[in-house]
Amino acid sequence: MKTINKTMMILLAAAAMSPVYAQVQEEVKQKSIENLSELAKTEGSSDNRKNLTLKSGKVLKHAYILSRKPNGVNIAHDDGASFYKFSDMPEEVQKIFKYDQEEAAAYEKKVEKSKKAAAKKEEADRQKKEQAMKESADRIKNEKIFKQQASIKEMELRLAELERRAATMDRHIEENRRDKVSLAGIDNRGGVVSVWGGGLTRIRGNNQTAGVVNDMRRENKDLEPKRDNIEVDIINLKLKIDAEKYSLEKLMKTDSMSVVPW
């Protein structure tokens, strides 16, 4: 088998060196040029498709021109369609298509300039869009901050009112307790009483003294549960204010673009 392969290689080498082989190659080349000449006339038409052999050796079967540019052609063939530059084609192909190197270079320079201008415009548009989005996000963030600050202010005013009411109740409860002791003690020594309202009043008889003491006891009995409820409201409101302040501080440190769910 090795002897046969070696013999075949010798025969092929000899054939490549023979005048007949050279003549066949020239005929193939000439046929390719003829096909290219026909191909150059087929722009925009799929009739009379020809094979086109490129400089790389790749063959585009049944090729025809889709469009032409100064630096190359768009060619459709059996395997699809592609753009091929004249500079990548054999010299005979360049001649057939009347390739002008300077014209192609000027065209490519113009295309490159257009691409750069388009890219620059696209970048400017992108930045403009981002700026608009950021401004919108900043506005939304500021609105959220303003609403949260207003909510905290409202809760702080409500807290101040609750604390004022609690202090008033504490004062009344404490005065009732103090004056109840004063009534019980002084009446036993002569009927002179210190009334919880702040003045001095003379009360005659144990029944009247007992009535005032009972009134004070009933008032405290009503006030103390209300005072306890207010204290619970104060504690809950303080917790809510602290939570809102923490949320506000976090919001103010957050990037605007993260605040808005785009």
At 173 the pLDDT is 76
Quick check: is 123 in a domain? no
Quick check: is 192 in a domain? yes
136-166, pLDDT tens digit by residue? 999 999 999 999 999 999 999 999 999 999 9
Quick check: is 119 in a domain? no
Do 65 and 163 lie in one domain? The reply is no
The total number of structural domains in the chain stands at 2
Do 7 and 73 lie in one domain? The reply is yes
Burial 148-179 (b: 16+ CB within 10 A, else e): beeebeebeeebeebeeebeebeebbebbeeb
Do 153 and 45 lie in one domain? The reply is no
The DSSP secondary-structure symbol of 190 reads T
At 195 the pLDDT is 44
Return d(Cα 1, Cα 256) in angstroms, integer. 79
At 30 the pLDDT is 45
In the chain, % of residues over pLDDT 70: 63
Residue from 35, 63, 60 nearest 49 by CA: 63
> How many beta carbons lie within 10 A of that of residue 103, not counting itself?
12
Do 147 and 255 lie in one domain? The reply is yes
At 262 the pLDDT is 56
Measuring CA to CA, how many Å separate 52 from each of 67, 70, 85, 99, 219? 16, 19, 14, 17, 111
Do 82 and 33 lie in one domain? The reply is yes
Quick check: is 122 in a domain? no
170-193, pLDDT tens digit by residue? 887 777 666 555 544 444 444 444
Range of the domain at 56: 2-99
Quick check: is 117 in a domain? no
Quick check: is 112 in a domain? no
Do 59 and 135 lie in one domain? The reply is no
Query: Would you say residue 247 has pLDDT above 90?
Result: yes
Average pLDDT, the chain: 76
Q: Which bin fits 48, alpha (ψ -120 to 50), beta or left (φ > 0)?
A: left
Query: Would you say residue 230 has pLDDT above 70?
Result: yes
Do 141 and 210 lie in one domain? The reply is yes
210-219, pLDDT tens digit by residue? 555 556 566 6
Do 68 and 147 lie in one domain? The reply is no
Do 254 and 135 lie in one domain? The reply is yes
At 90 the pLDDT is 83
When pLDDT is averaged across residues 221-229 and rounded to a whole number, the result is 81
At 243 the pLDDT is 96
Beta bridge partners of 65: 75
Give the model's confidence band at 106: pLDDT under 50 very low, under 70 low, under 90 confident, else very high.
very high
